[in-house]
Structure 1
Amino acid sequence: MPDTYALYRSMSAKPLGKRVFSLLFATKAPYFRTIRPQVRDVRPHHAELTIRKRRAVQNHIGTVHAIAVCNGLEAAMGLLAEATTPPGRRWIPKGMTVSYLAKSTTDLLCVAETDPADWAAAGDVPVRVRAVRTDGTVVVEGVITIYVSEKPAR
Structure 2
Amino acid sequence: MPNTNLIARSIAPLKLLPPFLRARAQTAIFQRLVPFTGTAGVQFDEVGLEQVALRLASGRKVQNHIGGVHAAAAALLAETATGFVVAVNLPDGKLPLLRSMKVDYKRRAKGGLRAVARLSPEQRQALVDQPKGDVTVAVTVTDESGASPMECEFVWAWVSKAT
2:8 is aligned, of 5, 10, 18, to 5
Counterpart of 2:134 in structure 1 is: 124
Partners in 2 of 1:145 and 1:108 — Cα distance?
21
Counterpart of 1:105 in structure 2 is: 110
Deviation of residue 20 (structure 1)?
2.4
Which residue identity does 2:17 align to in structure 1? K
TM-score normalised per structure 2:
0.81
Counterpart of 1:136 in structure 2 is: 146
2:31 is the alignment partner of 1:26:
yes
Deviation of residue 86 (structure 1)?
4.3
Instruction: Count residues in correspondence.
Output: 152
Mapped contact 1:80–1:113 kept (Cα < 8 A): yes
Deviation of residue 51 (structure 1)?
0.6
- Worse overlay, 122-131 or 55-64: 122-131
Identity of aligned residues (%): 27
- Worse overlay, 61-70 or 33-42: 33-42
Deviation of residue 27 (structure 1)?
2.8
Partners in 2 of 1:126 and 1:31 — Cα distance?
23
Partners in 1 of 2:107 and 2:121 — Cα distance?
30
Deviation of residue 22 (structure 1)?
0.2
The Cα RMSD (Å) is 2.0
Mapped contact 2:112–2:143 kept (Cα < 8 A): yes
User: Matches of residues 1-154 of structure 1 in structure 2 within 5 Å?
Assistant: 3-15=6-18, 16-86=21-91, 89-119=94-124, 120=126, 121=130, 122-151=132-161
Q: 1:118 to 1:14 in 2, by over 3 A?
A: closer
Mapped contact 1:3–1:82 kept (Cα < 8 A): no
Instruction: Tell me the SS of whatever aligns to 1:109.
Output: strand
Instruction: Tell me the SS of whatever aligns to 2:64.
Output: coil
Q: 1:17 to 1:41 in 2, by over 3 A?
A: closer
- Worse overlay, 131-140 or 5-14: 5-14
TM-score normalised per structure 1:
0.86
In structure 1, stretches of 5+ residues that fail to align are none
